[in-house]
Amino acid sequence: MTRVAVIGAGIAGLTAAKELQSLGYQVDVFEKSRGRGGRLASKRLSWATVDTGAQYFTARHPRFRREVSRWVDHGAAQPWQFTPHKLINGELHRSPDDTERFVGTPNMNSIAHQLATDLNLNLNITITSVERRNHSWYLTDQSEAEWGAYHWLVVAIPPAQARYLLAQHMSEVSEQEPLLLPCWATVLATKGAVCPTIQGVFGDKTVSWLSRLSAKPGRVKPAHSDDVWLLHFSPQHSADRQSDKSEQIIAEATSWLTTHLDSELAITHEYAHFWRYAHMATPNQQQNPNICQQQQLAVVGDWCQGGRIEGAYLSATNMVREMIA
Ligand code: FAD
Ligand code: NAD
């Protein structure tokens, strides 16, 4: 049986692993974190589980639309129906559109859990180097343990990390490496009334996106709170504030939220997370996966195809098609 190692359990790695396993390959997935999902992230706090990474996704490609239907059928995703608002000259305005948006349920990374069902997942394993010898791949982890032999290696991690791992093996990775910009995410639980139609806001140069997490389908509100809000600071502002402490960014988020919602809000709980690799500086729409049949090596991820959840999925499924062709 052909053995495949997949490094990274974000949506790209899990999708690649699931598709290859369904085609009869024997697949092992390696993930450095305690949980699966990568930037499709939900953080379990003592007072709530909150989406700190991707907030929602759109599905434009027919293949991805079919996959999203499967997630919906399994209860792992639902449409999030709301009219977006936009901040114009400091004021909130309705900004209606007919875009269909989806969220994972009950949390964004429920989708990762759905994809990972039946996969052989090795969590808390950071792959620190990879080596090809005798036509096979061998992986070394943070405790110097070796894993292998594998016929194929699929690398599904952000570009800077992929370049580091594959420096000796795939020059195309360094040539094509796009820049991923950072993002400060801040979550605030509040007490106080806010107009119920404000659910998702395209923001300004400071905060690029505001979600009312408690209005997404399937969410549970924390005790003694009326709402939970997520603020994503813009790439530029996040880069400028990357050495700030969480308390500083939370104070700035609180001030931004109360000013723009124009409401007397008491903060009941708070949380901040800094994403070092979040937003593609210049999203590409490349269709060709990075694949080397001779070395039996493939590189996938959102950054290979547009920088969003849909791009991560398509990058993986396109790679599998080319691998088996
Ligand atoms: P990742 O999710 O980054 O997965 C890579 C995985 O590899 C991670 O789990 C990492 O821990 C693991 N890893 C890395 N190195 C190693 C190693 N050496 N060994 C083992 N494991 C390793 N997209 C949307 O469509 N809609 C949104 O609203 C949206 N908002 C976003 C907001 C934020 C703050 C961020 C950060 C991203 C957002 N995105 C959004 C983008 C979306 O989250 C990504 O496009 C997608 O999740 C990327 O999936 P991936 O599998 O390519 O990579
Ligand atoms: P989408 O079509 O809803 O949004 C794409 C972009 O179009 C938005 O960022 C916004 O600028 C604009 N837009 C869409 N609808 C609008 C409306 N009604 N009024 C005003 N502007 C509107 O979704 P998508 O293309 O699937 O992108 C998903 C989301 O993921 C985007 O919001 C993107 O910014 C976000 N994202 C964020 C990060 C991060 O690090 N914060 C990283 C990757 C993607």
97-137 pLDDT per residue, tens: 999 999 999 999 999 999 999 999 999 999 999 999 999 99
pLDDT for the residue 180: 85
How does residue 176 score in pLDDT terms, banded at 50, 70 and 90? low
Tokens of 234: 């813009």
Q: Measured between alpha carbons, how far is residue 215 from residues 95, 219, 232, 291, 306 in Å?
A: 18, 7, 17, 41, 28
What mean pLDDT value characterizes the chain?
Answer: 94
What residue's CA is closest to ligand 2, atom 15?
97
Predicted structure pTM score: 0.96
Pocket of ligand 2 (CB under 6 A): 57-58, 84, 86, 95, 97, 99, 183, 202, 209, 232, 278-279, 307-308
* Most confident listed range (53-62, 163-172, 296-305): 53-62
- Considering every ligand atom, which ligand is closest to the CA of 54? 1
Pocket mutation for ligand 1, best pick of 39, 52, 128, 140 (most atoms within 8 Å of C-beta): 39
Name which of 80-94, 224-238, 280-294, 307-321 the model is least confident about: 280-294
Cβ atoms of 237 and 252 within 8 Å: the answer is no
Model confidence band, residue 274 (pLDDT cutoffs 50, 70, 90): very high
Q: How far is the CA of 228 from the centre of ligand 1 (A)?
A: 23
pLDDT recorded at residue 276 = 94
Distance 214 CA to ligand 2 centre (A): 19
Indicate which atom in ligand 1 lies nearest the CA of residue 56.
28
What pLDDT score was predicted for residue 287?
A: 60
pLDDT of res. 289: 66
- In this prediction, residue 242 carries a pLDDT of 96
Give ligand 1 pocket residues (Cβ under 6 A): 7-13, 30-33, 38-40, 53-57, 126-127, 156-158, 161, 183, 185, 232, 275, 278, 301-302, 307-309, 312
Distance 317 CA to ligand 2 centre (A): 23
| pLDDT 10s digits, 129-163 | 999 999 999 999 999 999 999 999 999 999 889 98
User: Above 60 in pLDDT, residue 174?
Assistant: no
Distance CA 29, CA 92 (A): 44
Is a pLDDT exceeding 80 seen at residue 262?
no
